[in-house]
Amino acid sequence: MMTRKRIFLGIFISTIALTSFFSLACAADKMETYPLTSMEQLNLSNVVAKPMAYKGRDAVQVKLGPGPYAGPDRNTFVYLPGVDFHNGVIEVDVVGALAPEAGQDARGFVGIAFRIAPDLSRCEGIYLRPTNGRANDQVRRNHSTQYFAFPDYTFARFRKESPEKYESYVDLVPGEWTKMRIDVEGDKARLYVHGGEQPVLLVNDLKLGKDARGSIGLWVDAGTEGYFSNLRITYKD
């Protein structure tokens, strides 16, 4: 009888310990959601934006602001002031559509900026080039995704110094809703598209370093009308 009591007590204590462990583990991850049906909680950086419906969804439309074009892969986004993101997961539905005034080099550039500095002087980002996804040119297809780090690391620099390392192919259709997910851990980031189980782009050396942190932004570039909905941020620390 005593042995049975001891066994029961041991199982009971182990159960309590495991429950406490999993409770603490779950508590460490905090998730916040933003439906993106208004401009509430969003600030502008070199863009114009407004809430509007697109293909049956309430969303936020983002385009470059007026004025001379300062070049690609910059701090052109709407962002969430006060957000302090270090490691975790960023998920959002996006559309990259060509604007009526888009030039011949426009690709429907649309994506996510992360670890944005409070003064907006630096950030990292991963974006899509939707018109490349089904282009009749394999080289263009290979440039369907892109990592950059503002202000020093643009796509042009990466193509010159590390060709193919920070770009990849994924099937995309301009003007259609596309699910993006970016997992960030230290100096590594993984891009998942269309809900896939495997990443389509691996970045193993984020240029701002493993300790960088900051806000999250909805990013576009030249010739793009970007649409965003259903933003979800999971904080790992």
Query: CB neighbours (10 Å) of residue 25?
Result: 9
Find out whether 84 and 168 touch, Cβ atoms under 8 Å: no
- The pLDDT value given to residue 26: 45
User: What does pLDDT average to over the chain?
Assistant: 91
- Above pLDDT 90, what percent of the chain? 87
For the chain, list the domains and their CATH numbers.
31-235 (2.60.120.560)
Give every CB contact of residue 212 below 8 A, 6+ residues apart in sequence.
86, 115, 122, 124, 206
Instruction: Give the mean pLDDT of 75-98.
Output: 98
Q: Kindly tell me if the per-residue pLDDT of 149 is higher than 50.
A: yes
Q: Which of 235, 233, 215, 232 is nearest to 115 (CA)?
A: 215
- Burial (CB count <10 Å: 0-12, 13-18, 19+), residue 26: exposed
pLDDT at position 17 over 50: no
Q: How far apart are the first and last CA of the chain?
A: 47
Closest by Cα among 199, 32, 176, 210 to 94: 176
Residues in CB range of 203: below 8 A, 6 or more apart? 126, 147, 166, 188, 189, 190, 191
pLDDT for res 183: 98
Backbone φ, ψ for residue 46 (5° rounding) = 60, 25
CA angle 152/158/162 to nearest 5° reads: 135
| Tens digit of each residue's pLDDT (9 = 90 or more) over 154-198 | 999 999 999 999 999 999 999 999 999 999 999 999 999 999 999
E-strand stretches of 99-211: 110-116, 123-128, 145-150, 167-168, 178-185, 188-193, 201-203
Please report which confidence band the pLDDT of residue 28 belongs to, taking 50, 70 and 90 as the band edges.
low
Rounded Cα gap, residues 229 and 189, in angstroms:
22
Q: Look-up: residue for tokens 């899509």?
A: 128
Residue 3's pLDDT band (cuts 50, 70, 90): low
